[in-house]
A and B are shown apart, each in its own frame.
Chain A
């Protein structure tokens, strides 16, 4: 099973700043089958990015994804108040599909 390790665990930033979230896979992904989700308290995860860098419908362009192999990044430019949440990465390259443990983006 591919283990996804997210860093940092918590990111303390101010609105307007840039957030850079990392996700490292325990094995090399040979495809672009990689996604990012946002989750707010009491809500289901929301798909942000699929295929490493493709924004889901309705996701603002301040969210962008990049990476390949074992290292993937979610960047949020100019944090808005509604962006403070927990973010999870997910690989669907190899069964079973697995998620990271999450990065919390909190208001500094």
Chain B
């Protein structure tokens, strides 16, 4: 059974940085594309970033391009999101999810990122 566990969220001031991690087990991590999806309070989910199975190709929503960097370590079954230049509108629960086919079939429980002074 797939198991995804995010960590690294917290309270950060505007302009600050955070690094999110997602530990994955239960499937062959290195064979699947992965994504980060966020959900602001009371809103629908929003695609943030995706990475190919081998890590060679990355994709970003326009809203985070140039500020966020997605990466993965296939030897450690781990996914990461480095977030710099954080803004108040980045406040959300951040989920990692398997996204090999375009839809998201396995999700973590999420980690809350709050950007506030």
Contact = CB atoms under 8 A, between A and B. Distances in A.
Interface of A: 33, 35, 37, 43-47, 50, 56, 88, 90, 92, 95-102
10 contacts: A43-B109, A44-B95, A44-B110, A47-B104, A50-B103, A50-B105, A88-B45, A92-B101, A95-B59, A101-B43
A6 to B, nearest CB: 8
A14 B99 CA distance: 34
A15 to B, nearest CB: 26
Given A47-B105, A50-B101, 7 more contacts: A33-B103, A44-B109, A45-B45, A45-B95, A92-B102, A98-B47, A101-B44
A46 B105 CA distance: 7
B46 A99 contact: yes
Interface of B: 43-47, 59, 61-62, 95, 97, 101-105, 107-110
A43 B110 CA distance: 8
B10 to A, nearest CB: 18
B107 A44 contact: yes
Given A35-B103, A44-B107, A47-B105, A96 B61 contact: yes
Contact of A44 (B43, B62, B108): B108
Contacts of A56: 105
A45 B104 contact: yes
Contact of A96 (B45, B62, B103, B109): B62
A90 B35 CA distance: 15
B51 to A, nearest CB: 14
Contacts of A100: 44
A95 B103 CA distance: 12
Nearest to B50: A97
B107 to A, nearest CB: 4
Contact of A99 (B45, B97, B107): B45
A50 B100 CA distance: 12
A38 to B, nearest CB: 12
A50 B97 CA distance: 15
Which 9 pairs show the lowest CB-CB distances between chains A and B?
Answer: A92-B102, A44-B107, A35-B103, A99-B44, A50-B103, A97-B47, A99-B45, A101-B44, A47-B105
